[in-house]
Amino acid sequence: MNAAPAFDSTPPRRGGIGRRLSNLLYRRSGLLLLLLLLPPLAWFGIVYLGSLFALLLQSFYTFNDFTGQIERVLTLDTYVALFSAPAHIDIVLRTLAMAVAVTLACALIGFPIAYFMAFHARGRMKAAMYLAVMLPLWSSYLVRVYAWRLLLAKEGIVAWVCAQLGLGGVLEAVLATPLVGGPTLSSSYLGMFLVFTYVWLPFMILPVQAALERVPGSLLQASADLGARPRQTFAHVVLPLAFPGVVAGSIFTFSLTLGDYIIPGVVGTPGFFIGQMVYVQQGTAGNVPLAAAFSVVPVLLIAAYLALARRLGAFDAL
């Protein structure tokens, strides 16, 4: 460059449409914000919230059993029908019990995995374990449910392993037990419970692991240094710090179990679950109002659960 560079004496003023629009948005940053938010908000406002509203609206309509038509008159009849039938109450309770059992099982099985990932796995091993949990979380829900059909089938692998180990009698005894049993594993509550636990397990592991990752190793050493035995360290340091992660994970396992209708259908017992009820009512029965009212139930249960989880500080771990 020369000692006396030639400077532009006129300020750059170009007038393309893009430049003019850019200037406008620069001067009015609120407008930019609005333009950015408008499409996604319109999408969610109209498509999603609109649909939820439509769902709510449908649940206040009623279905005429004789004509098979939906009567578009606002009424509480459908809700009365929902809560006055003992069979319906059974469905809700059955689903709720399953959701609680699955959540507990996921926490029990998931915690050691998360703990190992957070405190023991290093480098490539850690990355591999992370992928091993993440892959099933994001993909192949249906395939993973299907896998259990193969495993639990009468002539399938579980029965075969039991027979090889000479435990065929035990399996039969378990299946004969009321409440958990059934004619075969693939049509028992036990089987359904196994599949639910299997499918939602990654949703428990990752939040727990995230919570444990935030526990500095020095904290464990400090506890040991202060004379705590491993069991005490675990009970007084690790568990309280991991708890919000467990609650965060339980939101997923609880919510997903409440709303599922595929698993009870594939590995099913004769008793219905909420999801199946919704599916059947809207489908073969054509009673969309009852289906809508039924689907409001898990929403309420989850809202109650979220309120509880919020109290327990779970949202910090999400």
Partner 1 sequence: MRSDGRASRWLRLAAFGGLAFLHVPLLIIVLYAFTTEDKTYQFPPPGLTLHWFEVAWSRADIREALWLSLQVAASATAAALVLGTMAAAAMARARFFGREAVTLAMILPIALPGIVTGIALLSAIKLAEVEPSFWTIVTGHATFCVVVVYNNALARFRRIPRSLIEASMDLGADGFQTFRYVVLPQLATALLAGGMLAFALSFDEIIVTTFTAGHERTLPIWFMNELFRPRDRPVTNVVAVAVILVTAVPILLAYRATRDDADAGGRNG
Partner 2 sequence: MEFVRVSRRYGSVHAIEELSFRVADGEFFSMLGPSGSGKTTTLRLIAGFEQPSTGSILIHGREAAGVPPYERDVNTVFQDYALFPHMNVADNVAYGLMVKKVARAERLRQAEAMLELVKLGGFGRRRPGELSGGQRQRVALARALINHPRVLLLDEPLGALDLKLREAMQSELKALQRRLGITFIFVTHDQGEALSMSDRVAVFRHGRIEQIDTPRGLYEAPATAFVATFVGTSNVVEGGVAERLLGRAGAFSIRPERIAVSTPEAAPAADAVALDGRVVDIQYLGAHSRFEVEVAGSGRLTALVPSYGAPAAPLPGVGAPARLSWPRAAMHVLDGGEGA
Question: Rule CB under 8 A: is residue 270 a binding residue for partner 2?
Answer: no
Name the token pair of 162. Answer: 């039991």
Question: Rule CB under 8 A: is residue 241 a binding residue for partner 1?
Answer: no
The answer to whether 139 touches 289, Cβ cutoff 8 Å, is no
Minimum CB distance to partner 2 smaller for 15 or for 39? 15
Least distance between partner 1 and beta carbon 249 (Å) = 14
Interface region with partner 2, contact rule CB under 8 A, candidates 2-10, 43-51, 147-155, 175-183: 2-10
Interface region with partner 1, contact rule CB under 8 A, candidates 74-82, 84-92, 141-149, 177-185: 141-149
12, 86, 123, 178: which one binds partner 1 (CB under 8 A): 12
Question: Rule CB under 8 A: is residue 12 a binding residue for partner 2?
Answer: yes
Provide the mask over 247-286, with x wherever binding to partner 1 is found by CB under 8 A and - wherever it is not.
Answer: ----x---xx-xxxxx--xx--------x--xx--x----
Q: Pick from partner 1, partner 2, none: which does 204 bind, CB < 5 to 8 A by kind?
A: none
Least distance between partner 2 and beta carbon 46 (Å) = 34
Count of residues in contact with partner 1, rule CB under 8 A: 100
- Touching partner 1, residues 151-190 (CB under 8 A): 151, 153-157, 159-160
Q: Measured between alpha carbons, how far is 250 from 51 in angstroms, rounded to an integer? A: 27
Count of residues in contact with partner 2, rule CB under 8 A: 14
**In one letter, which amino acid is 203?**
F
Q: Pick from partner 1, partner 2, none: which does 278 bind, CB < 5 to 8 A by kind?
A: partner 1
Q: Pick from partner 1, partner 2, none: which does 3 bind, CB < 5 to 8 A by kind?
A: partner 2
Beta bridge partners of 64: 69
Question: Rule CB under 8 A: is residue 141 a binding residue for partner 1?
Answer: yes
Give which of 189, 176, 238, 193 is closest to 213, Cα–Cα: 238
Question: Rule CB under 8 A: is residue 6 a binding residue for partner 2?
Answer: yes
5, 39, 123, 178: which one binds partner 2 (CB under 8 A): 5
Q: Which residues of this chain interact with partner 2, rule CB under 8 A?
A: 1, 3-8, 11-13, 22-23, 26-27
